[in-house]
Amino acid sequence: MEAKNPAREKAAYWSPYIAGLAIGLTLVLTYYVTGHGIGASGAYTQLAAKLLRLFTPDHAQGNAYLKSYLQLGPLLQSWIAIEMLGVMLGGFLGALTARRWRFQIERGPKIGEGDRLLFALIGGIAVGFGSRLAQGCTSGQALSGGAVLAVGSWLFTLAFFLGGYLFAWLVRREWE
Amino acid sequence: MKGPLIPNEIWTPEMGLVFALVAGLLFGFFLERAGFGSARKLTAMFYFQDFAVLRVMFTAVVVAMVGLLLLGGVGQIDLSIVAIPATYLWPQALGGLLIGLGFVIGGY
């Protein structure tokens, strides 16, 4: 019988309160240094604007919304773009050191891999569009805006939970 | 050093870009340790199965809120120049709804 090798076992997730404390302190530090919070979706908008300019420069420059993002300068001099690079790297290092890192299409018991990816794409489009409407996502609005008691950010957070719980109730049989 | 350091010109914007990588690394690492690397775990709260994500989010918001108030109270940060997201009621309500819906669709 093979002995259990603890070095090969996945590390457990942290207590949500410890993880929340760590994230909260990171946010305080970010406000202390930069005067603003931590975002995510804004980096994707800048990337999208710059990709579009690569393929159809006239269209990208002619769009008032995208133009404002193009005026922000190179991607690698943008605070939020570098921060997102750090988030990806940090998540990767976290998964690696917890021995959780592997290629997989994580999915529930009732869905195939193709459908899982298709739904992930549709969900991503909804999140992307919603985050542009709200000028932020769960990081920029719910977390960062919530911490400085921004009225719109708290409305956003309430709507986020409302949307999640309502829609999950409709599809609850497919998820479990 | 009275914060916020970059708006107060105690740190240069270039130092801010280096800090962006550090802040991102910390944020990403802690999010992974909290279990946010799993799309299933992210949506489990919407089915009343696992409330870890909710606990992490609200602990972080409360810690940051109290932390900023304390730093402001002892004069270490000038809260009057801290950026507060602007309010656009309908877009933010609709955006929140769409993101909640998107989380659920993306978390099968």
Chains A, B: CB pairs < 8 Å: 360
Residue B97: name the closest of A167, A41, A120, A153 by CA: A167
pLDDT in tens, B11-66: 999 999 999 999 999 999 999 999 999 999 999 999 999 999 999 999 999 999 99
Q: What is the pLDDT of residue A10?
A: 84
The confidence band for A176, taking pLDDT boundaries of 50, 70 and 90, is confident
Q: Which residue has the higher pLDDT, A1 or A74?
A: A74
- pLDDT of residue A117 exceeding 60: yes
Q: Are residues B96 and A158 in contact, defined by beta-carbon separation less than 8 angstroms? A: yes
Q: For A65-107, what is each residue's pLDDT tens digit?
A: 999 999 888 999 999 999 999 999 999 999 999 999 989 999 9
Does the pLDDT of residue B91 top 50, yes or no? yes
Given a cut of 60, whether residue A5 has pLDDT beyond it is no
Which residue type is seen at A125? I
Rounded to a whole number of angstroms, the distance from the CA of A62 to the nearest CA of chain B is 23
In this model, does residue A6 exceed pLDDT 70? Answer: no
Residue A73 pLDDT: 86
Confidence of residue A1 (pLDDT cuts 50, 70, 90): very low
Answer whether B44's CB lies under 8 Å from B103's CB: no
* pLDDT one-digit tens code per residue, A123-147: 999 999 999 999 999 999 999 999 9
**CA separation for the pair A91, A125 (Å, rounded):** 22
In chain A, residues with a C-beta closer than 8 Å to the C-beta of B74 are none
Tell me the DSSP string of chain A.
-PPP-GGGSPPPPPPHHHHHHHHHHHHHHHHHHHSS---SHHHHHHHHHHHHHHH-HHHHHH-HHHHHHHTT--GGG-HHHHHHHHHHHHHHHHHHHTT---------TT--HHHHHHHHHHHHHHHHHHHHHTTS-IIIIIIIIHHTT-HHHHHHHHHHHHHHHHHHHHTHHHH-
Quick one: CA torsion of A100, A101, A104, A109, rounded to 10 degrees?
10
> CB–CB of A163 and B98 under 8 A?
yes
Which of residues 66 through 95 in chain B touch A, CB cutoff 8 A?
67-68, 71, 76-77, 81-89, 91-95
* DSSP notation for chain B: -PBSTTTTTSS-HHHHHHHHHHHHHHHHHHHHHHTTT-HHHHHHGGGTS--HHHHHHHHHHHHHHHHHHHHHHTTSB-GGGS--PPP-HHHHHHHHHHHHHHHHHTT-
For the purposes of burial, counting CB atoms within 10 Å of the CB of B45, is it exposed (0-12), middle (13-18) or buried (19 or more)?
buried
Q: Which A residues 50-69 touch B at CB under 8 Å?
A: none
| pLDDT at residue A2, rounded to an integer | 46
The pLDDT value recorded for residue A8 is 64
Of B34, B65, B103, Cβ closest to residue A14: B34
CB-based contact B102 A126, cutoff 8 Å = yes
d(CA A108, CA A121): 16
**Residue in B32, B56, B107, B59 with CA at minimum distance from that of residue A94:** B32
Given a cut of 70, whether residue A115 has pLDDT beyond it is yes
Give the ipTM: 0.97
With a CB-CB cutoff of 8 Å, which residues 89-128 of chain A face chain B? 89-95, 98, 100, 106-108, 110-111, 115-116, 119-120, 122-128
Nearest of B82, B14, B107, B85 to residue A126 by alpha carbon:
B107
pLDDT of residue B68: 98
